[in-house]
Structure 1
Amino acid sequence: MATSRYALRLREPIARSLLDVLRSRFDQVSTPAADGTVLIVDNLDQAAVRALLTLLWDTSHEVLSFSEANQE
């Protein structure tokens, strides 16, 4: 099963408490944007993508864009 790195641009900064939850559930999570509105998550399969988007939805985080990011 293929895994990838995804970049999600959020309307507002991600809540610190949610970031802690994401880091406990997913392999690698980072927020490279200084304002915390970009979320990079590595090693996601299709089920994990759905779980991530559902978690963001359930916590009222609006996703502006979702794209596959370059592996660096």
Structure 2
Amino acid sequence: MALSRYELTIRGPVSRTVLDVVRTRFDHVSAPGADGTVLVVDDIDQAAVRALLTLLWDTGHHVLAFEEKPA
């Protein structure tokens, strides 16, 4: 199964609790972006992408953009 890098732009800051969960589950880098927060998640498969998006949506975060990037 191919692993990829994804960049998610999220409106506003991501809560500390959610970032802690993401750090526990995935290798990632979080950086402030022009419209909110940009999460870059490396080495992630399709099932993990779905879990990450569900986590963000379930915790009230708004995903503005979602892109696959070259690793």
Structure 1 portions without partners, runs of 5+: none
Report deviation, 1:34. 6.2
The answer (yes or no) to whether the contact 2:9–2:33 under 8 Å persists in 1 is: no
RMSD of equivalent CA atoms: 1.6
Report deviation, 1:17. 1.2
Partners of 1:70 and 1:10 lie apart in 2 by 20
2:44 alignment counterpart: 44
More strand by percentage: 2
Give me the TM-score of the superposition, normalised by structure 2: 0.88
Give me the TM-score of the superposition, normalised by structure 1: 0.87
Runs of 4 or more, structure 1, over 3 Å off, are none
Report deviation, 1:32. 2.4
The answer (yes or no) to whether the contact 2:29–2:39 under 8 Å persists in 1 is: yes
Aligned sequence identity (%): 59
Partners of 1:70 and 1:33 lie apart in 2 by 20
